[in-house]
Amino acid sequence: MNVLKLVARNLLSRKGRFLFTLLGITIGMASFVALMSIGQNMRNEVTAQAYSLGGNFVIVPDDLCVFNQIGIITGDAISERLDFAEFEKIAAIEGLDVIPHLTRRMMIYNPTAGAQQPTTVTGILPAETKTFRNWDMYAGEYFSSQDHEAIIIGQGIMNRFDLGVGDELEVRRGEMFTVVGILASTSSNDDTNVFMPLSVAQRVFDREGSVSYMSATVDDMARFDYFYASIHSVANNVNVATNEQLLGAVLTIIGSVNVTLQAVAGVALIAAAFGIINTMMTAVYERRREIGIMRAIGGRSSVIFRIFVIESGLYGLLGGILGIVVGIIVSVFAAPIIQGDEMLMGLEAGVNIDAVLIVSAIGFSLVISILSGLFPAWKASKLTPVEAIS
Amino acid sequence: MSDCIIRVENLEKIYGKSSVKTYALKGINMQIPRGSFSCIIGKSGHGKSTLMQLIGGLDRATSGNVFIDGVNISDLSDAKLSELRAKKIGFVFQFFNLLENLSALENIQIAMMFGGVPAKEQKKAEDLLKLVGLFDKAAAKPNELSGGQQQKISIARALANDPDVLLMDEPTGNLDSESEKDVMEHIYNVHKTGKTIVMVTHNNELAKQAEHVFEIYDGKLKVV
Ligand SMILES: Nc1ncnc2c1ncn2[C@@H]1O[C@H](COP(=O)(O)OP(=O)(O)OP(=O)(O)O)[C@@H](O)[C@H]1O
Ligand SMILES: [Mg+2]
């Protein structure tokens, strides 16, 4: 006989109570883990995509708010308010490699969903962008000229909408284009984009002479301040944002969403903690006699205290482990629903469970349950043998 | 004096606070020689159990002292008192007080655990079961045992850490005469191994067989 075996006996001899208390903390932990993993996944996706933009910074209209800048990272369309003329001035700066983008929305029929779904179509300078982005072809061929009337799609679009080379898409009402090629996967939001030559896009969408934003890269980031000044001196109404700045802005927004989600999970956890306190207090009351007997035959109050703390700690440990398992299952089922959200359509929603999350979730659950057990355990240990038995 | 393992001095116990006070013990003095078999008799409610609990360190006196083997247990800390209960004293209750969740064997093992014996070295619990003739009931839970069997398990439990003193508060008070004889048989056998036994009883036949008899009347000792 040792303390652990005794605790196991105590828990298992009250199976119903044990299971329901465990269920409480499991639900609390599961919601916590699910929300954390979904949130963490968003962060990771956004970070990965910010670094895959291909440039060290972007040039955007100076009145573009932070919220709209998310579009650049998630691959959503942002309004086209930059002049192509500004692009040409900026492109002339020595040591600066810059490409323009014109982004618009289009609808594609998704045979799986049985409905039209929105995606982003981007006008690009074919030759410059291919070099800038290091693109390879997965199938078909690349644009043959600056005004090739055709589209190229990312692999994500191919899979999602079940498309292949030779398929026709209606980019805008009455404007049918043939898919001539499919890009090799870049693991960036290029995978979930439809591309066409910039001049063709400008014509189709009646946006002659306009672009949405530019991606830029410099030979030496140490000279960033110089380029920053140069860009502002040659171009008007533009703002320069480094990828880090964009990322920071987006992460701030995601962060505040996460805080809200975690607060909800926190409430669930607090409820679970009170469940443990309640169970343990009831146990102390019910088991007065048992505690008294243990004290009478020589059990020290510190041992009684330990028995009760371990009992409640076990709730936390088991609840934490079960909560992680259930939380993972929930986030796996929730991922496609999040994927369907328009605002996040460029993001591969998924589950992100790493060792840190698992360890911290179990640790957290353990700490909460031990804290919940302290008061009941203290009450139990303070019973004198005689008052407990009689 | 040194052969008195238990010495009680001016022991008083008052239950309750302010308004409803019960004067359970009103100054008891007694000495119990090492290795003796003593009985405490007296009418119901006159303080026998209270005295046993104070000698056994289950409760603290209002005033006065209890010496066990020369140690004044009134001075002991809570932890030291627990250790005394675990190792030096075995207590047997009228209503057995076995732990219901645990098997007969485990009830003995848990007492060994409290005595600081690690799980691997708790084999002796089986020998104690054999001693009381219940080795075949090792896995039985208390509610699967008769009253007499439960009391024999609780005697085995009291012996778990080989204590010098066994305190028994009406160990056969809840048993039929058949079981009483059986249980007393085991108690006499335990006494033969050199243990000091103090037993509360209402049975005068049993008291007659004791070396010393103390009668408690209204919280005081009546010389017999
Ligand atoms: N925990 C307690 N709180 C208050 N009063 C108590 C307590 N325990 C005992 N008493 C009182 O102290 C007195 C002595 O009780 P005690 O149990 O020692 O008697 P006893 O001689 O063992 O009786 P019995 O033969 O019925 O077991 C009684 O008046 C009883 O009501
Ligand atoms: Mg009594």
Residue A284 backbone dihedrals phi, psi, to 5 degrees? -60, -45
Q: How far is B76 from chain A (nearest CA, A)?
A: 13
pLDDT at position B199 over 90: yes
Which ligand places an atom closest to the C-alpha of B202? 1
Q: How far A319 CA lies from chain B's nearest CA (Å)? A: 24
Rounded Cα–Cα distance for residues B109 and B50 (Å):
28
Cβ–Cβ gap B79/A300 under 8 Å: yes
Residue linked to tokens 């800390």: B77
Round to whole Å and give the CA distance between B216 and A136.
103
Residue B132 phi, psi dihedral angles, 5° rounding: -95, 10
**Protein residue with least CA distance to atom 30, ligand 1:** B45
Is A211 within 8 Å of A166 (Cβ atoms)?
no
Inter-axis angle of helices A355-382 and A301-339, nearest 10: 150
Q: Which atom of ligand 1 is nearest to the CA of B202?
A: 25
Q: For ligand 1, what atom is nearest to the CA of residue B53?
A: 18
Cβ contact A12:B123 at 8 Å: no
Task: Decide if B203 contacts B42 (C-beta within 8 A).
Answer: no
Residues A122 and A51: their CA atoms lie apart, in Å, by 19
Confirm or reject: Cβ of B201 under 6 Å from ligand 1: no
Spatial separation of the C-alpha atoms in residues A80 and A77, rounded to whole Å = 9
Per-residue model confidence as pLDDT tens digits over A277-306: 888 788 878 888 888 999 999 999 999 999
Nearest to A239, CA basis, from A46, A105, A69: A69
For position A345, what pLDDT does the model report? 45
Q: What is the pTM of this model?
A: 0.70
Q: Please state the φ and ψ torsions of residue B133, each to the nearest 5 degrees.
A: 70, 30
Question: Measured between CB atoms, which of B106, B114, B119 is closest to A297?
Answer: B114
Question: Using alpha carbons only, what angle is made at residue A183 by residues A178 and A187, rounded to the nearest 5 degrees?
Answer: 140
Q: How far apart are CA A224 and CA A43, in angstroms?
A: 26
The pLDDT confidence band at residue B2, using thresholds 50, 70 and 90, is: low
**Ligand 1: which residue has its CA nearest to atom 18?**
B47
Strand partners, B30: B8
pLDDT at B141: 95
Take atom 17 of ligand 1 and give the residue whose Cα is closest.
Answer: B49
Q: What is the pLDDT of residue B150?
A: 96
0.85 surpassed by complex ipTM:
yes
A301 vs B58: CB contact, 8 Å cut-off? no
Render pLDDT for B107-163 as a digit per residue (tens, 0 to 9): 999 999 999 999 999 999 999 999 999 999 999 999 999 999 999 999 999 999 999
Task: Establish, for the pair of chains A and B, how many residue pairs have beta carbons separated by less than 8 Å.
Answer: 85
**Chain A nearest CA to B55, separation (Å):** 12
What pLDDT score was predicted for residue A340? 52
Q: A133-184, pLDDT tens digit by residue?
A: 889 999 999 999 999 999 999 998 999 899 999 999 999 999 999 999 999 9
Strand partners of residue B31: B7
Q: Does ligand 1 lie within 6 Å of residue A2's CB atom?
A: no
* Distance between Cα B202 and ligand 2 center (Å): 10
Contact A2 B86 (CB under 8 A): no
A202: its two tokens: 């400008």
Cα–Cα distance measured from residue B15 to residue B17, given in angstroms and rounded to the nearest whole number: 7
* Closest C-alpha to A207, from A234, A154, A171, A231: A171
Catalogue all structural domains in chain B, each as residue range(s) with its CATH number. Answer: 4-222 (3.40.50.300)
| Residue B134 near residue B186, CB atoms below 8 Å | no
Task: Measure A358 CA to nearest chain B CA, in Å.
Answer: 33
In chain B, which residues have their Cβ closer than 8 Å to the Cβ of A9? 101-102, 106
Structure confidence at residue B89 as a pLDDT band (50, 70, 90): very high
Cα(A371)–Cα(A276) distance, integer angstroms: 10
3-state secondary structure of A138: strand
Q: Is the shortest distance between the CB of B47 and ligand 1 below 6 Å?
A: yes
User: What would the pLDDT profile of A8-30 be if each residue is shown by its tens digit?
Assistant: 988 888 888 889 888 888 888 88
Distance CA A170, CA B218 (A): 106
Q: At CA A85, angle to CA A81 and CA A88, rounded to 5?
A: 120
Measure the CA–CA gap between A179 and A170, rounded to whole angstroms.
11
CA of B36 to the centre of ligand 2 (A): 21
The encoded tokens of residue A17 equal: 């109570």
> Is-contact A358 A320, C-beta < 8 A?
no
CB pair distance less than 8 Å for B100 and A290: yes
Q: Do A301 and B78 touch (CB under 8 A)?
A: yes
Residue located nearest, by CA, to atom 24 of ligand 1 = B44
Is A176 in contact with A108 (CB distance < 8 Å)? no
**Ligand 1 site, residue B21, Cβ cutoff 6 A:** no
Q: Is-contact B90 B163, C-beta < 8 A?
A: yes
Q: How many angstroms is it from A378 CA to the middle of ligand 2?
A: 29
Residue A13 has its nearest CB partner, among B101, B118, B160, at: B101
On whether the CB atoms of residues A246 and A74 are closer than 8 A, the answer is: no
Q: Taking the C-alpha atoms of A378, A379, A385 and A390 in order, what is their torsion angle to the nearest 10 degrees?
A: -170
Ligand 1 atom nearest to A390, measured from its CA: 1
Per residue of chain A (390 residues), give pLDDT as tens: 899 999 998 888 888 888 988 888 888 888 888 877 777 777 777 777 666 665 578 888 887 776 677 677 777 777 788 888 889 999 999 888 999 999 999 999 988 888 898 899 999 999 999 998 889 999 999 999 999 999 999 998 999 899 999 999 999 999 999 999 999 988 778 888 999 999 999 999 999 999 999 988 887 777 888 888 999 899 888 888 877 777 777 777 777 777 787 788 788 778 878 877 888 788 878 888 888 999 999 999 999 999 989 988 998 899 889 988 998 888 878 766 665 554 444 455 556 667 887 888 888 888 888 888 888 888 888 888 887 676
pLDDT in tens, B25-42: 999 999 999 999 999 999
CB–CB contact A1 B53 (8 Å): no
Please give the mean pLDDT across all residues of chain B.
93
